[in-house]
Chains A and B, each alone.
Chain A
């Protein structure tokens, strides 16, 4: 059994935790990321720090010093991203990713954090070169 002060403290912690969680979460949670189309339509949206999500355009990925440069696309809209720092190992061209940062006035999105989105499709890794056609 927990003593009364302990109980009050416990409930207090739970309530405070819940309140914090709800208030801080709801701000950005319901729209976890913006799409390139939304950001291009309203660049002011991305002057503050936002998350931007889309597919990494195949062929657009290259390294420039400690910058990783690629394009994110969604529904025909593209944004060039300059990412500072190493993306996760699962980061690949053609896969979906969410970057965090802000849109510069030159139209480049400068980010410092990459999260890789993955789909709900699961298939085995190619077994060997014999599989490749």
Chain B
């Protein structure tokens, strides 16, 4: 049996079993990554224990890029085929990406406090990352606003189409964030694992970092699938009170 991501997102017994397996994989990888990052990897010579924040910060940032990549792909797919399922992938991807970007900024800020000696700097990498967070928060806010303004449900065409356009455009920022440390003078160090000529990194540190990125990717995939199924269930239930005028009234607090 071949299970694709889309099969795993089905609200069926097979899909649920697949998601459970994936959940265990995510748990196992996370445990391995925690052990590797916490104990196997040696303490860094220059930065001391603070460098271990890398095993949280880098996966958060990388998987946030991946999540925004999901938003991009799903938005393009929606614009082509208008299949509401892709819209659910886009929304779930944006939610995950926003949380992970915030996590990357938080861990990075603490790391900066410990090693750079400052919580925040008006530096190209930091500023572009903040803009990225703002953009996808705006994407989610736009969805909410369109839902309320048009009186349609999230996932309907009046919401999904403009959202898909923003979802595609927003991705333009991702390469800006990633290459900001090369294009401009920055306080932030450049990439290590993805550098064209990889600078020296202790192999145990490299392993811990790769494990952490893998674990974060699989955990994020799990969350994505569960979220897509949840959004689908919410839609397939006929709106509880379709004729309820309160649903359309924008003044309702809920």
Interface-centre pick from A7, A113, A126 (highest chain B CB count, 10 A):
A7
* Size bracket of the A interface: 35 or more
Q: Are A115 and B117 in contact (CB under 8 A)?
A: yes
A10 to chain B, nearest CB (A): 7
Which listed residue (A25, A87, A117, A124) contacts B44, Cβ 8 A? A124
The residue on B at minimum CB distance from A87 is B117
- Report how far A95 CA is from B251 CA in the complex, Å: 58
Interface pairs (12), CB distance under 8 Å: A4-B251, A21-B131, A28-B122, A29-B122, A31-B184, A31-B185, A88-B116, A116-B117, A118-B46, A118-B47, A118-B189, A122-B205
The 8 A CB mask of A1-29 against B (1 = contact, 0 = none) is: 11110010011001001100110110011
Contacts of A18 in B (CB 8 A): 131, 134
With A3-B252, A25-B122 already in contact, 11 other A-B pairs whose C-beta atoms are closer than 8 Å: A1-B250, A14-B138, A14-B141, A29-B124, A31-B184, A32-B185, A90-B116, A115-B116, A120-B192, A125-B43, A125-B44
Stretch from B28-36, B97-105, B196-204 contacting the other chain: B196-204
What's the tally of chain B residues with a CB closer than 8 Å to chain A? Answer: 48
Interface-centre pick from B54, B114, B123 (highest chain A CB count, 10 A):
B123
The 8 A CB mask of B118-145 against A (1 = contact, 0 = none) is: 1001111001001100100110010011
Which listed residue (B43, B141, B201) contacts A11, Cβ 8 A? B141
- Report how far A48 CA is from B184 CA in the complex, Å: 21
Contacts of A98 in B (CB 8 A): 187
